[in-house]
Amino acid sequence: MAVPSEVLIEMAKPIIHHRTSEFEEIFAEVREGLKYIYDTTQEVFILAASGTGAMEAAIANTLSRGDKALVVNGGKFGERWGKICRAYGLEVEELMVEWGHAVDPADIKKALDKDSSIKAVLVQASETSTGVMHPTKEIAEITGKRDDVILIVDGITGVGVFPLPFDEYGIDVLVGGSQKAFMLPPGLSFAAMSEKAWKFNETSDLPKFYFDFKAALKSAEKNTTPYTPAVTLVIGLAEVLKMFREEGRENMHKRHATLSLAVREAMKAIGLELYVKDTPSTALTTIVAPPEIGSGKVIKALSEEFGITVANGQDQAKGVIFRVSHIGDISKTDTLTMVAAIESVLNGLGYKFDFGAGTKKASEILSKA
């Protein structure tokens, strides 16, 4: 993951103490910046944990022992929602979705209509293991009509990537992570809570201490955290949020949409199949490697010949797909280089295609952006 040099420079400066007015000023700035990127008037909590920590905190701060949760499981991270819920003793109903496909909101409505004991719907805005974008807005329209059901969204590869306006959509808890669109090293995660989620919090009896949002809110209002924050990362975050303001939320969304479109169309132009046909996330593109080659060889060649890192598929998609990221500090230059490198390694691996067609396609799309 590339961290912009401006951010690295800020993080390399001498460390400051967190119980000082200097740090509180930075924290105040960060609070406002997070509200901007979440598009909310609610507090956005900063947790010293990777994304999974905020996923766990979202559950622990809203639900209660014995509650039933409806989990959308269409990939590794959907599966993780189920695992966390079970670890907290919740009853889990999994809505299984075929990998590479988005959940149908009608299935969520059906499940909620059938079982009034369901207290929460948990979903990924962008399922990073498959490259699918789930329909958060449509799901929020369903949960928004029910006072007794909250919507918990994992936006770890969604916040800052495509529109997820927290207040407007009516999301109840939205989780983000530092090492994705936030262009930071791993170690921070974020979460916002709606009024409805706070109502759930009043009666929530799941164990919580370090990630207790009530304590976090009390401290945040004084521009601090209940326990020692990850000072260096918060300082980096302040710089990142400045960059976000400069670019603007909508332009960020547009940038990710353009870069992902360029890669998808380029891959089609060289005869490769996209793993997600109808509902691709703009955070990443998942590409089916030529079956006679397999994705492992493509990934290895990209790394060895070009120093480019792309990820393999997981579980059933391992060796089948490779995953190209568009989030973080990724430019048009990086994107075009990526496409050209994919063509080069595929050619080297003996794949027969219209060599150069992908780079041409990507460059056409990027030239109009």
Scanning 45-53, 211-219, 242-250, 252-260 for contacts with ligand PLP by CB under 6 A, the matching segment is: 45-53
Q: Which is nearer to ligand PLP, 124 or 143 (CB)?
A: 124
Q: Which is nearer to ligand PLP, 35 or 134 (CB)?
A: 134
When CB distances to ligand PLP are compared, the closest residue is 51
The site map against ligand PLP for 67-106 (x = CB under 6 A) is ----------x-----------------------------
Q: Is 56 in the site for ligand PLP (CB under 6 A)?
A: no
Determine which helix (DSSP H) or strand (DSSP E) holds 53, and give its type and residue range: helix 51-60
Q: Is 295 in the site for ligand PLP (CB under 6 A)?
A: no
What is the smallest separation between the CB atom of 263 and ligand PLP, expressed in angstroms? 18
Residues 329-368 that bind ligand PLP (CB under 6 A): none
Distance from the first to the final alpha carbon of the chain: 24
**What's the rounded Cα separation, in Å, for the pair 249 and 43?**
18
Q: Is 51 in the site for ligand PLP (CB under 6 A)?
A: yes
Q: Across the chain, where does the E strand assignment appear?
A: 44-47, 68-73, 91-96, 118-124, 126-127, 132-133, 150-154, 173-177, 189-193, 273-274, 284-288, 311-312, 321-325
For residues 281 and 127, the answer to whether their CB atoms sit within 8 Å is yes
Q: Which is nearer to ligand PLP, 47 or 366 (CB)?
A: 47
Query: What backbone torsions phi and psi does residue 304 show, to the nearest 5 degrees?
Result: -70, -40
**What's the rounded Cα separation, in Å, for the pair 258 and 253?**
9
Rg of the chain in Å (alpha carbons): 21
**What's the rounded Cα separation, in Å, for the pair 269 and 92?**
42
> In this chain, which of 40, 62, 73, 128 binds ligand PLP, going by CB under 6 A?
128
Determine which helix (DSSP H) or strand (DSSP E) holds 302, and give its type and residue range: helix 295-306
Residues 182-201 that bind ligand PLP (CB under 6 A): 186
Q: Is 279 in the site for ligand PLP (CB under 6 A)?
A: no
Of the candidates 114, 124, 116, 131, the one whose C-alpha atom is nearest the C-alpha of residue 71 is 124
What is the smallest separation between the CB atom of 293 and ligand PLP, expressed in angstroms? 26
Q: Is 124 in the site for ligand PLP (CB under 6 A)?
A: yes
Scanning 18-26, 47-55, 207-215, 231-239 for contacts with ligand PLP by CB under 6 A, the matching segment is: 47-55
For residues 84 and 134, the answer to whether their CB atoms sit within 8 Å is no
Identity of the amino acid at 274:
L
Q: Which is nearer to ligand PLP, 299 or 362 (CB)?
A: 299
Q: Is 198 exposed, middle or buried (0-12, 13-18, 19+ CB in 10 A)?
A: middle
Q: Across 138-261, where does the E strand assignment appear?
A: 150-154, 173-177, 189-193
Q: Which is nearer to ligand PLP, 164 or 346 (CB)?
A: 164
What is the smallest separation between the CB atom of 176 and ligand PLP, expressed in angstroms? 10
Query: How many residues belong to the site for ligand PLP (CB under 6 A)?
Result: 11
Beta-bridge partner residues of 54: none
Pairing mode, strands 150-154 and 173-177: parallel
Q: Is 177 in the site for ligand PLP (CB under 6 A)?
A: yes
Q: Is 50 in the site for ligand PLP (CB under 6 A)?
A: yes
For residues 263 and 338, the answer to whether their CB atoms sit within 8 Å is yes
Q: Is 282 in the site for ligand PLP (CB under 6 A)?
A: no
Q: Which is nearer to ligand PLP, 122 or 270 (CB)?
A: 122
Pairing mode, strands 311-312 and 321-325: antiparallel
Q: Which is nearer to ligand PLP, 33 or 75 (CB)?
A: 75
Q: Is 131 in the site for ligand PLP (CB under 6 A)?
A: no
What is the smallest separation between the CB atom of 135 and ligand PLP, expressed in angstroms? 15
Residues 134-163 that bind ligand PLP (CB under 6 A): 154, 156-157
Q: Which is nearer to ligand PLP, 54 or 216 (CB)?
A: 54
> Encoding tokens for residue 13?
């400066």
Interface contacts to ligand PLP, rule CB under 6 A: 50-52, 77, 124, 128, 154, 156-157, 177, 186
